Amino acid sequence: MVQTPQVTAEQEAVAIRRGLPWWRLLLRDPLALMAALWLALLCVCVMVGPELFGKEATTLNLRARNLPPGSTEQGWLMILGSDALGRSMLARLIVATRNTISIALTSVLLAMIIGGFLGLIAGYIGRGVGNLIMRLSDIVQSFPSLLLAVVVLYMLEPRVGNLVIVLAITRIPSYLRVTRAEVLEIRERVFVDASRALGGSRTHILVRHIAPVVAPTLLTILTVDFAIVMLAESGLSFLGIGIQPPEITWGLMVAQGRNYLSQAWWLAFFPGLAIMFATLSANILSNWLRIVTDPVQRWRLEAPKVGNA
Amino acid sequence: MPDGATPLLEVADLRIEFRSGRETVYAVNGAGFSVEPGETAAILGESGSGKSVTASAVMRLLQCPPAAITGGAIRFKGDDVLAMPLGQWRRRCGREIAMVFQDALASLNPVFTVGWQIAELFRAHGEQSGKAAEGRAVELLARVGIPDPVNRARDYPHQFSGGMRQRVMIAMAIALGPDLLIADEPTTALDVTVQAQIMDLLQDLQREIGMAMVLITHDLGVVADVADHVAVMYAGRVVERGTVRDVLGRPAHPYTRALLDSVPQLQGNSSVLRPIVGSPPDMAAMPAGCAFHPRCRFATGECRSVPPPQVAVAPGRIAECHHAERVFHGG
Amino acid sequence: MAADRTLGGRNAGDPILEVRGLVKHFHIGGGFPFGRQAAVIRAVDDVSFDLRRGETLGLVGESGCGKSTVARTLLRLEEPTAGQALFHGRDIFTAGERELKEIRRRIQVIFQDPYASLNPRLRVEQIVSEPWVIHPDVLPRRDWPDRVRELLESVGLRREHAERYPHEFSGGQRQRIGIARAMALNPEILVCDEPVSALDVSVQAQVVNLLEEIQQRFGIAYIFIAHDLSVVRHMSHRVAVMYLGRIVELGAKEQVYARPRHPYTKALLSAQPAIDFSGERKNQRIILKGEVPSPANPPSGCRFRSRCWKAQATCAGTPPPLAEGPDSGHRAACYFPEGAAARV
């Protein structure tokens, strides 16, 4: 038996620190809380927006044309102004949320999953397969992404599905490179050796040890890519090969409002603001998530805030 | 500690804290020891005992903040080191007192050749310049045992092996012939045979220059081999002081005793190791009373609440323990 | 209880691992096909030894001697260049994937760095039960939580520690978690790669004692790799001394420590700092000249000859074989071993 004094002393050694549940941590961080709430609001808009405000977003109302923000005579919906056809900006923004978010989110998720997967393979297995994957990625990356999108969408129809795929393809290389770089570093770590020595197969190590360490980084890239994709989509829509009216996205609204910046600045401003807030929230929340899911860093959020000694 | 003339270095009741937003770490809580000219003193302690922080404080290398020296005094050749203007102290560094660190690769500038860095010492202290300084640098490299010094002076730190880099650091430290060399774990990262070479070199240089040395280490064997006097540190305090022979041969503090019992020996009885239970204390939340009491087999109720006194169990032997006499007499 | 570490006592057994002619060369550089000379690091060159049931074989040497590489090849974390390692008659080096997995159940490892050997994102419970995830036939899933806690208690931790993360523990405690993980499969051999070098002095004894206790209870054989001669002396029954990829001396602990035959062993023992108030060691101190040669370019013949005070012309020719001397079982690779008439 192990000597008793040893066990007794061990009892003081590890501090009994109960971890806080994640929602408590969220409540303690006002910035992350606001970001989460904003994103929750966007989710609501995605789910019920077009059903609730669809009519107001499409009905023409020539008496309410080009109203600047703050005008409430025609109803509270015109609080953000209206466009040349009298449609409420607010309503259009809400309705556009669904398309915007779903296109952007689907593209970046697709890119992350495919890029991450290929990066894991390239990094861990390496050699021939890895080289092939990296060269393919280099080829994709060497095309200007907009040009690639234009070419592809011109040849195929500019349907939402194709749009998503094209956007995803242009984003894959960044996930791939980062994943591969991280995998190259992690696979040299001792705990990976330990798993191999236990008899762990490559799949086991990739899934259990390597992917969880790589995931947070990919998540961070995802939130940054979110904005990039939204703006790319707006560029394509502006060129007429992205979203086709009457479908609407924030990007398309920005594109459409560009020409009226001096007369009706609110046409492009508010959609742009919406894009900014969405990506900012996603960024803040992903930073917070990264810390929460890392057991080593989590204490930063859990410890009571003390003033300077 | 031997009395008589002014000690070369004297540290008394030194207290050092590290403050960050959340908490304060009491790294050193009243450490005191002294070093006579020409002798080799060792500070023996494990990680977290405060020994390296003490050494950095003597050289005034601590970053304040987050560090803060909250009490005590450091006297070098009778002068108050902490009260001195920093510029004045810096001029004395290198010339009268020097330091060698554990990790030579981190301490040497990677973008300058080794010869240039040593020569820089002479240039910076206004001793020599140009060709003369370079010549001295090559001489020094030869003195510390680096073969083919003329060519190697043109090499960069990363081109040297660990042991050679340590020699380069030693060369830089002794370049101006200091009276005191502080060596912070100089051989911990080196192989045993290289360690022997380096310790040999240091002792040689000591004899030649008439230099005193403060050796900071956790290795009992190194202390026994090399040092004259030893101060044992635990949780930021010096818990025992005396000559090496006395302290290691007949310890008067439970920690020293427990350490000796727990370390495997190269000779003698090899069968039983008695580990020290528990782990070193959290320096931000020290237990009241004696810092060692949770792990001490002599501990009584008194030890939990009353800080232990300094007991002189023999001339020149001080132990900080309520039960020093008992431990000293083998209780 | 202290183990009785005499050879021939109840701890001696039949060899369960026989390593023959292990060679590991690392090839670096030479990627371009345009004839750049690749460097070959001869990390391990013709190493052979036996490991007997229930014994501890200490493997000592300084950096670059190849002891860690020997461990890694035995675990097949590296592929050997040549040689055999017979485990119960089966060659580890030629085993296929399935057979290798079987073998890995019985040969486990604990690593030097307690901070790096545990995945910081997993709870202790997940870390210790990973062996059963990989080998599901060993223990039914419903028994895992209990067994994890049993293992934790047996290494001197508490049951509640299963829910903590590695960073909440000290170095010594993390090493224990690593030991608990290694013990989960009840291995026959435990490769200990410098298990206490990264720990504080006062904590080393705790882990050493734990390892000894485990060996006594379960009869596990250890390959104990370290550079600290005192710890190896304490833990081992037999000791092998390595220098620059070769074993230069091999024998029972008492033989090697009390009557070293190879000059390098002698120098190593004399260089190790130790508490000795008689002054004897100081008088007999051997300080080796120079540094360890690079494994990419080792001296011909006996690799120690560039630093050996006894080196002669013979030493540069054929490398000296590991040969027995007057004591049975005590072998040294030297043409002019200590305490013997010169062999030619």
Which residues of chain C from 163 to 182 reach within 8 Å of chain A, CB to CB?
A: 164-165, 167-170, 173, 178, 181
Chain B contact set for C206 (CB, 8 A): 275-277
Cβ of residue C131 closer than 8 Å to a chain A Cβ: yes
Cβ of residue B19 closer than 8 Å to a chain A Cβ: yes
| CA distances for A172 relative to A123, A217, A226, C1, angstroms | 15, 14, 13, 61
CA C46 to chain centre: 16
Chain B contact set for C195 (CB, 8 A): none
Q: How far apart are CA A305 and CA B239, in angstroms?
A: 35
Q: Is the pLDDT of residue C216 over 90?
A: yes
Burial of residue B280, with CB atoms counted within 10 A of its CB: 0-12 exposed, 13-18 middle, 19 or more buried? buried
Tens of pLDDT, residue by residue over A166-217, are 889 999 999 999 999 999 999 989 999 999 999 999 999 999 999 888 988 8
Q: Is the pLDDT of residue A240 over 80?
A: no
The per-residue pLDDT for B1 is 44
B22, A6: Cβ pair inside 8 Å?
no
Alpha helix (H) residue ranges in A59-144? 89-124, 127-142
Q: Which helix (H) or strand (E) holds C20?
A: strand C15-28
Q: Is the pLDDT of residue C11 over 50?
A: no
Cβ of residue B295 closer than 8 Å to a chain A Cβ: yes
The per-residue pLDDT for C342 is 44
Q: Report the gap between the CA of B236 and the closest CA in chain A (Å).
A: 19
Pairing of strands B9-19, B24-35: antiparallel
B262, C201: Cβ pair inside 8 Å?
yes
C167, A11: Cβ pair inside 8 Å?
no
- 3-state DSSP call for residue B7? coil
Query: In DSSP terms, which residues pair with A108 in a beta bridge?
Result: none
| CA distances for B198 relative to B42, B104, B167, angstroms | 16, 13, 7
C291, B194: Cβ pair inside 8 Å?
yes
Cβ of residue B71 closer than 8 Å to a chain A Cβ: no
First to last CA, chain B: 25
Residue of A nearest to B294 (CA): A9
Tens of pLDDT, residue by residue over B168-201, are 999 999 988 899 999 999 988 888 888 889 999 9
The per-residue pLDDT for C23 is 95
The pLDDT of C211-228, averaged and rounded, is: 93
Q: How far apart are CA A75 and CA A78, in angstroms?
A: 6
Instruction: Tell me the ipTM for this assembly.
Output: 0.84
Q: Is the pLDDT of residue C138 over 70?
A: yes
The per-residue pLDDT for B4 is 53
C111, A2: Cβ pair inside 8 Å?
no
Tens of pLDDT, residue by residue over B29-80, are 888 999 999 999 999 998 888 898 999 999 998 887 788 899 999 999 989 9
Q: Name the residue with tokens 């170095």.
A: C171
The percentage of residues in chain A with a pLDDT greater than 70, rounded to a whole number, is 90
Q: How far apart are CA A217 and CA A222, in angstroms?
A: 9
Chain A contact set for C116 (CB, 8 A): 189-191
Q: Is the pLDDT of residue B98 over 50?
A: yes
The per-residue pLDDT for A56 is 78
Number of Cβ atoms within 10 Å of the Cβ of B56: 18
Pairing of strands C238-243, C246-252: antiparallel
B295, A303: Cβ pair inside 8 Å?
no
The percentage of residues in chain B with a pLDDT greater than 70, rounded to a whole number, is 98
Tens of pLDDT, residue by residue over A20-34, are 777 777 888 889 999
Number of Cβ atoms within 10 Å of the Cβ of C121: 20
Burial of residue C178, with CB atoms counted within 10 A of its CB: 0-12 exposed, 13-18 middle, 19 or more buried? buried
C291, B220: Cβ pair inside 8 Å?
no
